[in-house]
Amino acid sequence: MNLIPTIGIEMHCEMKSNTKVFSKAQNTYTEEANIHVNEVDIALPGILPTVNKECVRKAIMAALILNCNIPEYLYFDRKNYYYPDLPKGYQITQSHAPIGRNGHITVPFKNQELTVAIHDIHLEEDTAGMEHIKDASYINYNRAGIPLLELVTEPCFHSKEEVIAFLEYIRRVYQYTDISDADIMKGQIRCDVNISLSENEALGTRVEIKGVNSFSNIALVIDAEIKRQKELIENGKSDEIIQETRGFDEENNRTTRLRNKANAEDYRYFIEPNIPKIKLDSTWIEEIKQSIPVLPYERLKKYTNEYNLSITDANNLLKDKETSDYFEECLKENIKPQTACNWITGSITAYLNKEFLKITDLSLKPKDLKLIVEKLESGVISSKQAKEIVEKSFETKQKIEDLMTDDLVQISDENTLETIIDEILSKNESQITEYKNGKTNLFGFFVGNVMKQTNGKANPVKTKEILERKLK
């Protein structure tokens, strides 16, 4: 039986801001519980929310990037439900008029393009965090009220590969625009995955898997739920697939039932009475649009089309904004694109991965790399010496100029090289005779002796030129 999977994603991402979305409490990640919380976050009597303008600005930017329709007025709604991590007994969110609706975005996928339809994107407050230990549950209110962007796609994906490509790209967009750090390790991204199977283009019964907190787990969830639904359908038990919310059991790699899927009416949405409607000025929206930086896919096309980099190299440079910015600064220093790419994806990335650092922590700046490249291209240093200088700069944090000592500089002076070569040739007359009689592989013998005599500092190109001339 040929069953077609259809997948929709609800991506929740915590936003970057100084304070929370409706309170003045700090929006800062910390391991210590309940220190970034105030009376608004825990819903003390008489409190009133105030809207964080910076969060609204970033939400509008995200909606513009997704080519969404922006409403004339900003509204917030109350989503009513009771759960220990929701201090007020309701969540301030957007339902009637989300910040963006009916959008689309094109993302790179397997050297091609994938266009994803966007249902809406809306701004809301996050819930508190809960930790379950043995027979007790603990609540951390630091997360309560953190600004949250929820991006809801249409059911338009048909494979886990498409889903992951989309999520990874949106994560990069949020980082490039400073909307969010989008740090999965800090729990800043969580996704709900909606999956249905059918024999034709009509949608099957939708099942939601709630709160998946990593992209790798999302891939596992999709595989597990498709397998579960497929087995039920093929065994004539399709009526057991019902609209419900499920969780993911990582240990057993399967989805498990949590509860019936709630509908909008179950949440009793109504417009938040404590936040008046806010007119979104068209001039301000245009200013936000003009402030959008060059996005990852635009950079990808530029790197491959204008700079002739491979897709692999371009994606390695685009893995985070800081790395891409470092590359851009190298180009401003007139380092050739491929040369800059080779250094960044080679020695620099190897060192950063080894030391668990970011490229912004690096003491070697693009202007320093320019000096090394210039010395390498002019023959002052060899490629081996260039690598040694770079590695030494990582370890010592010394200036590149100070590392350009005689010990790490190539011998390129022809008179000096000729003197060394003449001495070596005078001691190996029998090898010279053999070479001239046709044993040409001895050329490597002479080069090796020069390198040994100079501790590897002889310019290899000039060394070969002089030897070829003298061995004629």
Q: What is the mean pLDDT of residues 254-263?
A: 78
What's phi and psi for 105, nearest 5 deg? -150, 145
The pLDDT value given to residue 239 = 86
> Does the pLDDT value for residue 332 go beyond 80?
yes
Closest by alpha carbon to 216, among 195, 189, 197?
Answer: 189
% residues pLDDT > 70 (the chain): 97
> Higher confidence at residue 456 or residue 116?
116
> Does the pLDDT value for residue 261 go beyond 70?
no
- Could you tell me the domains of the chain? 4-286 (no CATH), 294-408 (no CATH), 414-470 (1.10.10.410)
Closest by alpha carbon to 335, among 375, 363, 301?
Answer: 375
Q: What is the pLDDT of residues 37-70, one digit of tens each?
A: 999 999 899 889 999 999 999 999 999 999 999 9
Q: What is the pLDDT of residues 425-461, one digit of tens each?
A: 888 888 888 888 888 888 888 888 888 887 777 777 7
The pLDDT value given to residue 66 = 98
Q: What is the mean pLDDT of residues 270-275?
A: 94
Exposure b/e, 422-456, CB count within 10 A at least 16 = b: eebbeeeeebeeebeeeeeebeeebbebbeeebee
> Higher confidence at residue 46 or residue 288?
288
What's phi and psi for 305, nearest 5 deg? -85, -45
Residue 87 in 3-state DSSP? coil
Please answer whether residues 106 and 115 qualify as being in contact, where contact means their C-beta atoms are separated by less than 8 angstroms.
Answer: yes
Q: Give 113's strand partners.
A: 108
**For residues 358 and 349, what is the distance between their CA atoms, to the nearest angstrom?**
9
Q: pTM for the whole thing?
A: 0.82
The full DSSP string for 156-211 is -B-SHHHHHHHHHHHHHHHHHTTS----GGGT-EEEEEEEEEESSSS----EEEEE
The pLDDT value given to residue 29 = 86
The pLDDT value given to residue 407 = 57
